[in-house]
Amino acid sequence: MIKTVLKTAFAAGIVAAAAGCASQNGPMQSQIDQATRKAESAQSTANEAQQTANQALQTANEAKSMAQANSQRMERMFQTSQQK
C-alpha cells in the first residue's frame, strides 16, 4: 500500500513539474517569437538598405562615366582650338 501511495505521489509530482515547465514555456516562447519577428524585420530593413546602396553605387558610376566622357570631350575641343 505504501509503495502504491509513493508511486502515485511520484507520478503526481512529475505531472505537476511538467505542468510547471509547460506554463513557463509560454512566456519564453513569446519572447522567442518576438525576437524572431524583430530579427526578420531587421533583415528586411538591411535588405532594403543594401538595395538602396546598390542603386546609389550604380548612379555614382554612371555619373563618373559621364564626367569622364565630358572631360575627354572638352580636352579634344581645347586641343582642336589650339591647332587652329
pLDDT per position as a tens digit, 20-72: 555 556 788 899 999 999 999 999 999 999 999 999 999 999 999 999 999 99
| Distance in angstroms (rounded) separating the CA atoms of residues 28 and 22 | 10
28 DSSP assignment: H
* Full-model pTM: 0.55
- Provide the domain count of the chain: 1
Residue 2 has pLDDT above 80, yes or no: no
| Distance in angstroms (rounded) separating the CA atoms of residues 15 and 12 | 5
Residue range of the domain that includes 5: 1-84
> Residues near 64 by Cβ (< 8 Å), separated by ≥ 6?
none
| Distance in angstroms (rounded) separating the CA atoms of residues 7 and 71 | 93
Instruction: Return mean pLDDT, the chain.
Output: 83
**pLDDT score at 83:** 83
